Structures are given as C-alpha cells and as structure tokens.
C-alpha cells in the first residue's frame, strides 16, 4: 500500500480511534500479560492506540516502496488481529479470554488460533522480511483462512509483492483416520465435525472481505497427500502446519520441509495439544536430524527456526 497523502489520512484516524476503544476494553477486562520478545526481532514501542492490548510487538520499520508508515502499519496489523479473532465484537469476558488464548471454536471469528499464535505469525513474518529470507508463506489446514489472511496482511503492509501465500486445505474438513496405516490417529473423530468443513468459496470470500485477495494468494484444494507434493512451490520462508492428524502432518512435512529456506520458520499449531501431531513432528525431526530448539508459543503451538 502506498504512503497516504493528506487527503487519505481521515480513514486511518478513524481506525486508530476505533482501535483505541477496542484496546481499552480488552485491557480493562483482562489486563496486559508480561510481554516476551520473539527471537530475532528488535523490540518496538507499542503504537499509542494499542498500549492497553495484550499484543506482542514486532519491528515496525518500513521496507519497500509500498510499505505503510510505521505508525499506521502497527495500528493496522493490531486491528487486523482484533478483527480476525472477533475481539472487536466479543463483549463477554470469558469469550474474550477464550479468543485471546485460542481455546474455543468461535462461531464468528475467521480464525480459532487466538492472539498469541497470530502474534507468532507476525513475529516470524517480520523476521524473514527484515532479514531477507527467501520464500513464500503457506499454511496447511486453514479452516476459515484467518492465519493466511493475516500472513497476507503482513506482506502487504511491508510492501512485499513478490511472495505468494499458499492456502492449502481439503475445504471439506479433516480426513477420516486410517488407523491401520497410522495408529496414532485411531481415536480421532475430527472428521465428524461439520464445523471444520469450510468451503474454498467461503475462504476466498473471507480474503475479499479484508481486501487481501489477489494473484499472490494461491489455493491448494484437496488432501495434502494429493496436492502438496506437486504444488509449484519453489521455496518457503514460513511453513505452518495445522493438519491435526499424524497422517496430515507427515503429508505436509515430507514434501514441504525440504523447501523451507535457512532462517525460515516451521510453526506447528497443536504440537502441545494433539499427541498425534507431536508424534509426527518428533519422528520427522529425528529421522532427518533436525535439532533446532522447539519454542513454545502458548498452551498449544510451537515453532522453530531452520538453521543456516
């Protein structure tokens, strides 16, 4: 997005005022937990409109001719997280806490991962952008698309028009388990939840609602075993796994982890929550000699940075 001129600042002032009110509401209801600086990122002062929000800051220094001014980019990305998690509209204190921690299946929000895991996406994305790590961004298992929408928002606000955001999902829900081949998935009943089946048309419409659908957003529809191995992806800077099952996790890691650039990030949404996903990740890491430290994001998520 180009730098706003004197005639285009009015809408941003309105956004900042709205953001301030939302921030004060959340800060009043739940307080601000201690902030933890993400590895590889310089700490940046919070934008004034969001001082009350429990949001970890990244580095807001602009790069590229289309990058927004520092203040407005910070406000926009914080507001995007509030909107994607439905925190702009949630008025129940328990609902607010659930949306921040990502411990519910929300009826309206575009993502269920919560603020802390969105903060992690922002920190990882800013790090690879600021350090010039090559590659696209992908999430395998997108639900309503919120995490990938936020990836695209970060790229836009940093003026990056070269990377693609890959949106990979069956768009039909979680596959039924194959216990004979993958015993770790034998108790999974996630395929029985209709709420987890979100159509590609709905996800595409969600991108459009945020004004973020363009030719640098690519959809990969189908089971991972059928799509990811042949996807025209050259290299990746962010690989985010949210396939839940052992099978889906392995079907993502096998074709895509070798394409993750040194300095890039592998993010696992449910490493500390779903034993099947953790088992698949641990086995893959052991078989391929991956020893980079795993960092905990929150009660569920984890990530590591691929070494040079």
Query: Is 164 a member of any domain?
Result: yes
User: In which residue are the tokens 């790590």 written?
Assistant: 133
54 in a domain, yes or no? yes
Mean local confidence (pLDDT), 147-163: 96
DSSP secondary structure letter of residue 188: -
Per the DSSP assignment, residues forming a β-bridge with 169 are 221
How confident is residue 300, by pLDDT bands cut at 50, 70 and 90? Answer: very high
In the three-class reduction of DSSP (H, G, I as helix; E, B as strand; rest coil), residue 46 is classed as coil
Task: Give the pLDDT of residue 308.
Answer: 73
3 found inside a domain: no
> For the segment 54-92, what is each residue's pLDDT rounded down to a tens digit?
444 444 344 454 455 677 888 999 999 999 999 998 989
Contacts of 206 (CB under 8 A, 6+ apart): 110, 144, 145, 146, 149
Does the pLDDT of residue 15 top 50, yes or no?
no
The answer as to whether 210 is a domain residue is: yes
Residues 6 or more apart whose Cβ sits within 8 Å of residue 9: none
pLDDT of residue 24: 35
- Look up the CATH number of the domain holding residue 192: 3.40.50.150
CB-based contacts of 211, cutoff 8 Å, min separation 6:
none
Identify the band that residue 47 occupies on the pLDDT scale cut at 50, 70 and 90. very low
Task: Quick: pLDDT tens for 251-295.
Answer: 999 999 999 999 999 999 999 999 999 999 999 999 999 999 999
Q: Which domain holds residue 280?
A: 9-305
145 pLDDT exceeds 90? yes
2 in a domain, yes or no?
no
User: What pLDDT shows up at residue 186?
Assistant: 93
Reported as a pLDDT band with limits 50, 70 and 90, residue 40 is very low
Per-residue pLDDT reduced to its tens digit, 25-35:
334 333 333 33
Portion of the chain with pLDDT greater than 90, in percent: 74
In a domain? residue 1: no
Average pLDDT, the chain: 83
pLDDT for residue 70: 73
Residues 229-240: tens digit of each pLDDT: 999 999 999 999
Q: What pLDDT does residue 118 have?
A: 98
Q: What is the pLDDT of residue 3?
A: 34
Which of 221, 224, 228, 300 has the alpha carbon at shortest distance from 268?
300
In a domain, 96, yes or no: yes
How far is 175 from 190, CA to CA, in rounded Å? 8
pLDDT value of position 71: 72
Q: What confidence score (pLDDT) does residue 23 get? A: 46
44, 68 in Cβ contact below 8 A?
no
pLDDT bucket at 22, cuts 50 / 70 / 90: very low
pTM of the model: 0.80
Flag whether pLDDT at 210 surpasses 80: yes
Reading the block at residue 102, the tokens are: 């990502």
* Number of compact structural domains in the chain: 1
Distance CA 3, CA 135 (A): 26
Q: Scanning the structure block, which residue is given the tokens 């034998």? A: 186
pLDDT digits (tens, 9 = 90+) for 165-183: 999 999 999 999 999 999 9
Q: What is the pLDDT of residue 143?
A: 98
Tell me how far apart the alpha carbons of residues 192 and 207 are, in angstroms, rounded to a whole number: 26
225 in a structural domain: yes
* Minimum mean pLDDT range among 14-18, 40-44, 79-83: 40-44
């Amino acid at each position: 997005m180009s730098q706003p001129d004197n005639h285009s600042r009015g809408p941003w002032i309105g956004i900042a005022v709205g953001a301030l009110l939302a921030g004060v509401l959340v800060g009043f209801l739940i307080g601000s937990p201690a902030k933890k600086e993400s590895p590889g990122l310089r700490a940046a002062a919070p934008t004034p409109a969001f001082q009350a929000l429990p949001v970890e800051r990244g580095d807001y220094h602009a790069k590229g001719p289309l990058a927004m001014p520092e203040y407005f980019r910070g406000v926009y990305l914080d507001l995007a997280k509030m909107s994607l998690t439905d925190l702009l509209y949630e008025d129940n204190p328990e609902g607010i806490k659930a949306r921040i921690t990502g411990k519910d299946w929300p009826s309206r929000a575009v993502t269920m991962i919560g603020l802390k895991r969105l903060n992690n996406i922002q920190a990882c994305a800013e790090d690879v952008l600021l350090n010039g790590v090559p590659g696209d961004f992908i999430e395998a298992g997108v639900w309503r698309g919120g995490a990938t929408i936020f990836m695209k928002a970060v790229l836009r606000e940093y003026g990056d028009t070269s990377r693609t955001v890959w949106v990979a999902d069956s768009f039909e829900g979680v596959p039924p388990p194959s216990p004979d081949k993958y015993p770790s998935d034998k108790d999974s009943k996630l395929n029985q939840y209709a709420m987890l089946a979100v159509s590609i048309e709905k996800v595409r419409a969600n991108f459009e609602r945020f004004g973020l659908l363009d030719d640098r957003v690519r959809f990969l529809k189908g089971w991972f075993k059928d799509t990811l191995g042949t996807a025209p992806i050259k290299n990746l800077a962010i690989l985010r796994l949210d396939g839940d099952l052992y099978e889906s996790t392995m079907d993502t890691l096998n074709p895509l982890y070798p394409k993750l650039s040194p300095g890039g990030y592998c993010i696992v949404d449910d490493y500390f929550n779903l034993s099947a996903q953790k088992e698949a990740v641990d086995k893959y890491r052991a078989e391929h000699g991956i020893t980079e430290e795993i960092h905990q994001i929150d009660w569920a998520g984890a990530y590591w940075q691929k070494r040079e």
